[in-house]
Amino acid sequence: MLIERNTPKDCLTKPELKKELPELCVANFRAFVECKNGFFDMRKRMRGNAPLSTGKYDDTYDKLSSGDFDAREEMKKLDVLNRNLSKQRQLREEEERRNQE
């Protein structure tokens, strides 16, 4: 996005740019869309959306926000997460191809 000076909207709407998005960005976008859909979903109207935090990662977020973390370690975690998300995406695409045949 920043290298080629595309706007975030362009990256999400144009199919050729959407293919190049990192898996973590796609996952964040999917979570955002699900949250927005929860605002209009009448089945969730009385209950509301799920809570933002269960308290499980509060300590981790406190460390990250205060600057008390190892950047290399966090990058390793993001790389692992991105690899896992790309594997899931590949599996979904293979399953869709099998269903189409």
Given its phi and psi angles, is residue 5 left (phi above 0), alpha (psi -120 to 50 degrees) or beta?
left
Task: Provide the pLDDT for residue 47.
Answer: 58
Residues 67 and 42 in one domain: no
Per-residue tokens: 43: 């089945």
DSSP 8-state symbol, 42: G
The domain total for the chain is: 2
pLDDT of residue 22: 77
Taking the chain (101 residues) in runs of 10, the rounded mean pLDDT of each run is 68 78 77 74 60 71 83 87 88 88 75
On whether both 40 and 74 belong to a single domain, the answer is: no
Claim to verify: residue 65 and residue 100 sit in the same structural domain: yes
Instruction: Give the C-alpha separation, 18 to 11, whole Å.
Output: 5
25 and 42 assigned to the same domain:
yes
What pLDDT sits at residue 29? 78
Distance, CA of 32 to chain centre = 8
Closest CA to 93 of 22, 19, 31, 10: 19
pLDDT reported for residue 51: 62
Based on the domain organization, do 1 and 45 belong to the same domain?
yes
pTM (whole model) above 0.85: no
67 & 93 share domain:
yes
- Whether residues 64 and 96 share a domain: the answer is yes
Q: Which pLDDT belongs to residue 16?
A: 82
Q: Domain limits at 63?
A: 55-101
